[in-house]
Chain A
């Protein structure tokens, strides 16, 4: 840990292993999101099954990590930054798991859309932009956690606004589309669900970053707009 030295190196190893597990889970979630977006744009419905299967692995990891956190608290009684790290991790894995769920939702939406027809071309670019922004938020949030970099975490939180703007513009586009031609409503609702899921992924990345700031600085900046600036 950056600001304390332990007598017990075993404890250090436990913490390092815990961190690596969280990041491993993060890597899985990232690929899940990327794969679901890839399926959405290319229309390869075969990928959906693999995505749904991998989601189970993520769920198992979440349980295992939570279990480890409880064990460490019970056995080592961590204090100060170590305690913050453990508390932060147990919240971060929840957000990661939910991001994985959103990826699964995207994949299922893709299956629905492509069973009925194809993704209308004009949304491909918008979805891709939105997804790239959200994905880069997740990646940076995990980088910030890996490096314990509070400044990077704050950047991620600021980036969430862009994802929201992008999301709203897709929704506007969808509404106009639906008003012009009511036959597109079914597809539009599916696209909306996908866009919503991507936007939620951005929110989860933001939550992860908030936890990173908490672990690094000990500041709880949730629901506090002034702290971000």
Chain B
């Protein structure tokens, strides 16, 4: 300001003295020219500002003269600070959005009319939304499941909604709606397919255990009642007691298998003790012959030398299960081959039989607890329904896999494949 004022006063003084000492008009002309120059300079700066204000970008070329320069510099600084702040905000915002997209749970933001404002990638996957085109569309236009539409319509969001989309994606979703800010809703979608499956597996397991125990228990209590209420001769009593003994034996073996399964599940990893496989296989061979009682031909086919590292008792129970299954499900006169092969890739213990075989649709489920291909047959053969579950568990604790191949009517092959790390020189 000072400079402009000084310039004005100076011009006036020079013009006044020129007018006083010389001609009056000359003073006026000088005064006029001086002011015009001044005005011109202001106008130049003003037009710069005007040009800049049309497209206010950070432009270092915005330089002015005199007082204007300071104003321009302040503007420039202010602009830069603003841009920095905006940039910072944008980065924060992008980070926040990226975090929401990275979530496993689906998030959809809805306005008061339940129109989609935003959805993350998980929600796109789970609900089949498309954030590019679905913004502003009512959510019920996209997620049309009637129970979801009803849920929104009732406006009672105290409980979450479990949505089964089994037909389309085999998915079970848990949906929760929360109010936030003013008349805004946050829809949270969690994929609970896994937990739902676990829940139903647990329910099935409890139901199966109860069922398996109830069957012999019914027989047992029936005979107890008969013996209590009726006079029976010694021979019949003997027969009843024998059946009762069998049934209680059955219950005991189920309970034993259950306990073994749970103890394996909670036990620490098996120790790395060398197990003498030659002796173990010899024992399996003798056990198989004893169980078969001469009804089958049992062949031993051993190749290569090597022992396994692991827990002997677990390996015995796993492999003995495979052998006893083969004996049980092979009709008289069949052949059972016990195979033991050691190679650089690892070791394999397999049981090959010429039994009835298994239909392919049952094979993936064989190791489920209490899964039975044929209920009547397997019970009459004396199985508890847990043998293969125990075998698979024991094997997987030794990083071994159980491979089942079968041709219905021609026989089955159950093979336990141990990795090389579990094999030690014999």
Contacts and interface: CB of A to CB of B under 8 A. Distances in A.
Contact of A143 (B128, B145, B146, B166): B128
A38 interface: yes
B144 A147 contact: no
A28 B144 CA distance: 8
Interface stretch (B134-142, B325-333, B409-417): B134-142
Contacts of A37: 167
B259 interface: no
Interface string A88-121: 0000000000000000000000000000000000
Interface in B104-158: 128, 130, 133-134, 137-138, 140-142, 144-146, 149
A147 B168 CA distance: 19
Bin chain B's interface residue count. Answer: 10 to 19
B133 A30 contact: no
A23 B148 CA distance: 13
Given A34-B167, A136-B168, A24 B145 contact: no
Given A16-B138, A147-B130, A24 B144 contact: yes
Contacts of A24: 140, 144, 146, 149
A24 B166 CA distance: 19
Contacts of B146: 24, 27-28, 31
Contacts of B128: 143
Interface in A31-74: 31, 34, 37-38
Interface centre among A23, A132, A139, by most chain B C-beta atoms within 10 angstroms, is A23
Contacts of A139: 168
A23 B167 contact: no
Contacts of B138: 16, 20
Contacts of A20: 138, 140-141
Interface in A142-159: 142-143, 146-147, 149
A23 B168 contact: no
A124 B358 CA distance: 20
A46 B194 CA distance: 27
Contacts of B142: 143, 146
Contacts of A30: 144-145
B133 A23 contact: no
A147 B167 CA distance: 22
B363 to A, nearest CB: 15
A132 to B, nearest CB: 8
Given A135-B167, A139-B168, A23 B134 contact: no
A19 B141 contact: yes
A143 B128 CA distance: 9
A98 to B, nearest CB: 18
A143 B144 CA distance: 10
Contact of A31 (B134, B140, B145): B145
A20 B113 CA distance: 12
B141 A23 contact: yes
Nearest to B167: A34
A192 to B, nearest CB: 22
A173 to B, nearest CB: 18
A26 B141 CA distance: 10
Contacts of A16: 138
Contacts of B149: 24, 27
Contacts of A146: 137, 141-142
A216 B374 CA distance: 57
B11 to A, nearest CB: 60
A16 B141 CA distance: 10
Nearest to B143: A27
Contacts of B168: 34, 135-136, 139
A31 B164 CA distance: 10
Contact of A27 (B134, B137, B144, B166): B144
A1 to B, nearest CB: 13
A135 B166 CA distance: 12
A27 B145 contact: yes
A187 to B, nearest CB: 20
Contact of A142 (B130, B137, B144, B167): B144
Contacts of B167: 34, 37-38, 132, 135
B133 A147 contact: yes
A146 B134 CA distance: 9
A24 B144 CA distance: 6
Interface centre among B133, B166, B167, by most chain A C-beta atoms within 10 angstroms, is B167
A19 B130 CA distance: 18
B340 to A, nearest CB: 38
Contacts of B141: 19-20, 23, 146
Contacts of B133: 147, 149
The 4 A-B pairs with the shortest beta carbon distances in the complex, nearest first, are: A27-B144, A34-B167, A146-B141, A23-B141
13 contacts: A16-B138, A20-B140, A23-B140, A24-B140, A24-B146, A26-B144, A27-B146, A30-B144, A38-B167, A132-B167, A135-B167, A147-B130, A147-B134
